Chains A and B, each alone.
Chain A
Amino acid sequence: MSEPVITARGLTKRYGEAVVVDALDFDILKGETFGLLGPNGAGKTTTILMMLGLTEVSAGTVVVAGRDPVRQPLEVKRRVGYLPDLVGFYDHMTAAENLTYTARLMGLGRDVREARIADALARVRLTDVAHKRVATFSRGMRQRLGLAELIVKRAEIAILDEPTSGLDPQSTHEFLDMIGELKREGVTILITSHLLDQVQRLCDRVALFRGGKILVMGTVPELARRVLGAGFVVDVEAAAVPGKELAARLGAIPGVLNVQQTSEATYRLTADHDVRAEAARAVVAADGALTRLSVDNPSLDAIYTRFFERRTGTEGEIRDAA
């Protein structure tokens, strides 16, 4: 992780009166996997199109791979691979022909082209159907073919717009593995999604995005602390001895922010680190019988739901629940 490869400053997109992307500031570092998460209509696709110079920037600047996509679109597009949401191919052509066409547009010579296409198709496991017409391909295969295009391109930066939407769990899993492979090769990845738990696996940092604004940005544990009030949720199930005030003892553990008695013998702790060991000790100290102790890693799903709930609901309510 070193210098930023995508830098946005005050990046704004207006359609007439409507501000669709509102003065974004962010940096995406080299080799990083960055998740842009937000509900439909948040402006994710619009942001991506501005980075590629495919739509005009209304105000502000964005620099991609050291270049301005408005002035040097070809230089930017040579280095950036883009997998649009709902990617389409020429149905009457085969998978290999489709890739050949874009590879020629990339300006690759014949030998390089053929070698890279064969390699890319193998990596996305489409070698068997390389010479089948794309018309016969399933959604998942098309998506993989789209990824093969980025591999052929040897893109430094891969921009994937909702790459897993519409895929079944199995295909999603495979697809995310393939993205993981790109990541290991050092490709900087920008990914947008609604499928949070899956993105969580991949992303180094995420930004929650709505109404054209980035609301919070950071690593998942960081966001958990800021949004949920804590990163870790520990469930304790223990038959407590009356009068020993187990709840109070649990609450006294350093780092625990909140204790909630969810039923007669279960407690839910929210803490800023994993407090299982201390919780166990507290139960023993209170002469309780510990029957279950578990910790939830902070889930992006919970963060996301909680965060956007909080935006629509009242602030206090959520605090209490946490």
Chain B
Amino acid sequence: MRREGSPWQGLGTVLLKELADHFDSPRMLLLALLMVLAAAVPFYSAVDQLRTTTSEDPFLLLKLFNPGGQTLSVVAILGFVIPVMAIGLGFDAVNGEHNRRTLSRILAQPIYRDALLAGKFLAGIIILAVNLMCLWLLVAGFGVFFLGVPPSGDEFARALVFYFIAVAYAGAWLGMAMLFSVLFRSPATAALLALGVWLFMTLLWPMISPFIAALVSPPDVRYTLLGILDPQTAAWQQGLSRISPYLLFEEATRTILTPTTPSLGPVLDQIRALRGEVVGAALPLRESLAIAWPGAVSLIAGAIVLFVATYVVFQRQEVRA
């Protein structure tokens, strides 16, 4: 059955109103502050660390985001904070309208539910993108200021790709927060469950998934004796880890921000050296992109799947309070 009229009628109006709401709300200010403060500490330590090393490193800007080694990076912090921001913006998107009893009044206007949902989602994404852009500019700007070395074109492009991956990551979490805001009438329940999923995906899953991988595909003793991972087990581990958006984000951004091929341990490095690969050489941007691509696409796909699920549930939902 075809519906008359455009499903996007009213989208612009909803979008503008939601944006204005976000900009006016103390919540958004709080979330932005949280993000900047959380990023300040690792940023500062990265600057500190980089100043002591030689400034001959060709990837100074990228090192600001992700200095490598044991230090906590801006990227790792973002992996944590972005979901909190996205959940904070989305957890009461639809149930809030229900509870304020505005939903039936708004849907009695000549618009489809599509416009309301899409408007809210887009507004959330735009807010997150703007916040991340501010943070990105702060890091890049201060970094150049403190270190005094302008980034190369390649470096700049990588940093920009990182930004888009971060926005996709934010979109996936926003989609989940909005799905919960449709599924649960109480915003508190939606927020708690979303935060629960976040904790599980970011803290527990990275610990649990190797165990599950080892259970599903027990590593061969020969590999274990050599002190390296059975490739089959490793494949399972990687596959399982990709369920978590946090690990996806980590993986994708690591390849983009760390152009030098990572060390895979002494034995494997030797094998690779024998095969003519240079450990520690910089990978061209195109190859980094090729490696990061599936992860980034998975994040975008995740955001879309979650949005569609939200849409389907919302379409069949009762509007009455």
Contacts and interface: CB of A to CB of B under 8 A. Distances in A.
Contacts of B13: 101, 104-105
B105 interface: yes
A55 B111 CA distance: 15
Interface string A21-65: 000000000000000000000000100010010110000000000
Nearest to B10: A105
Given A45-B320, A72-B4, A107 B110 contact: yes
Interface residues of B, number: 27
Contact of A74 (B14, B101, B104, B111): B111
A55 B106 CA distance: 14
Contacts of B104: 49, 54, 82, 84
B108 A88 contact: no
B9 A80 contact: no
Contacts of B4: 71-75
Q: How large is the interface on A (under 10, 10 to 19, 20 to 34, 35 or more residues)?
A: 20 to 34
B55 interface: no
B106 A105 contact: yes
A197 B142 CA distance: 73
B321 interface: yes
A86 interface: yes
Given A54-B319, A74-B112, A102-B109, A84 B101 contact: yes
Interface string A88-99: 111110000000
Contacts of B14: 105
Nearest to B108: A82
Contacts of B100: 88-91
Contacts of B101: 84, 86-88
A105 B110 contact: yes
A223 B1 CA distance: 42
Interface of B: 1, 3-5, 9-10, 13-14, 17, 21, 24, 100-102, 104-112, 318-321
10 contacts: A71-B4, A73-B4, A74-B9, A89-B102, A92-B21, A101-B13, A101-B17, A105-B10, A105-B106, A106-B109
